[in-house]
Structure 1
Amino acid sequence: MSNQELVSLNVGGLKFTTRPATLQRFPESRLARMLSGSDREFRLVNGQFFIDRDGVLFSYILDFLRTLQLSLPSDFSDYQRLQREAGFYELYSLADLLSQENLLKPKPEILEVRFLLQEKQAYFRVFGSCNGTIEGLAGRITVFSEQPVGQSWNNHPVPSQKSLIPLPLERPSHHDLVFQCGVDSSAMDQIVA
């Protein structure tokens, strides 16, 4: 296969290789015009067409050009940005597909909250099918630990004063959030609120 049978693209720093026929699938698109040299915004640099756009979103556009099907991950939420990119490339059939009301509506999410009791320690575990929801929850939940303050009055400790110290939330994965909500009450040096 000769180099003329392949096209190399650098889209926002991500590199792609495809056949010219894939980019020419929609002859009215900017990608087809890029190959003919009639769209000056796309420049050939070191044997690659440089496109100053989002490379991650372009991967979905290139997949659409290859298969004529829209296949997105289950937690994909950038429909409007992808629609804007499709409009930029003048791939109007993809932009129309993305603008369909059923695609732009939020997808139902699975949110599962579990209370776990392990060896006198209590935890909440939150699982969400959309990592954006878990990110949002992680930004809104704060767990504090009450710890005695090392203050004294006339060289006598003051045991009743406590300081609240934020504890980090555990993130085992993009879809999980775990935080402690209680400890063994016999551990007097730390009480979780």
Structure 2
Amino acid sequence: MAMKELKKSSVIRLNIGGNKFCTSVDTLTQREPNSMLAAMFSGRHNIACEEDCEKGYVFIDRDGTHFRHILNWLRDATVPLLEERCKYSELLREAEYFQLVGLTEEIHAFLNKEDDQIAKLDAELTRRDIINFILSNATMKFRGFNLSGLDLSKLDLTKIDFSYACLRNVCFSGCDLTRVKFNYADAEGAIFNNATLTSSEFLGANLRDASFVDAKLRFAKVDSACLVNCSFLRAILENAQLYNSDLTNANFRDANLIGSYVKDVNLQHLVGANLGILTAYRNGFICKNPDEIR
């Protein structure tokens, strides 16, 4: 059905993969206004939905096992206590599907909390040390350093060399990482949301479970990297080079790869990405803008 104009107090009945829920427009739209759920029920867009004939339930074809946790997040901003770690991975996938960026970041933080506490004890430098080094030496290299668990968000880290460094669970959100080298770095669980990574390098890097939501990776070089479970939701990878990398369960939904060169990559993992028109080039493909094809 086409969504009708709804009041904030309106009751919404949802059928998520056979699991039925009742909530309000206010709950679905207020906490995460840029999410898919907010877009569906705010009235900003006329989105077509399937309607369950029983009592007017709106049907969404997803696993509803964890949807109650999503509703509780939207109501109270709470991350649930789940018995098994794998359940958080399942919840994370649903949060990414519904584009709940706040919940996604909180799950990452929750999963890495204990690891962060341990890693911070082992980290060789602090955030203040990093800032002081940058101020004193613009060409500072952190090759091989253990910086695990540090919060480096919103720093200007341009041209820094993090090759071979341990960057597990480091928060780079909002950083300027232009021309930064992450070659052979262990950045598992690192957060790069809203970061600028123009012309950055990721040769042989471990980026398992890393988050690149809304990141800008124009002209980035990603070669033989582990991108398992990575989220590139709405990321910009224009003119990037994507070679020989493991993209198992990676999320490229609404990502832009126009102008990128894709080689030895399973294109099934790029479902939902803007690939334009794939043109064969050497042993790979160039994702060209359809307007440039004559």
Compute the TM-score of the two structures, normalised by the length of structure 2: 0.32
Higher strand share: 1
- Looking at CA atoms only, which structure, 1 or 2, has the larger radius of gyration? 1
Higher helix share: 1
Q: Which has the higher contact order (CA 8 A, sep 6+)?
A: 1
Compute the TM-score of the two structures, normalised by the length of structure 1: 0.47
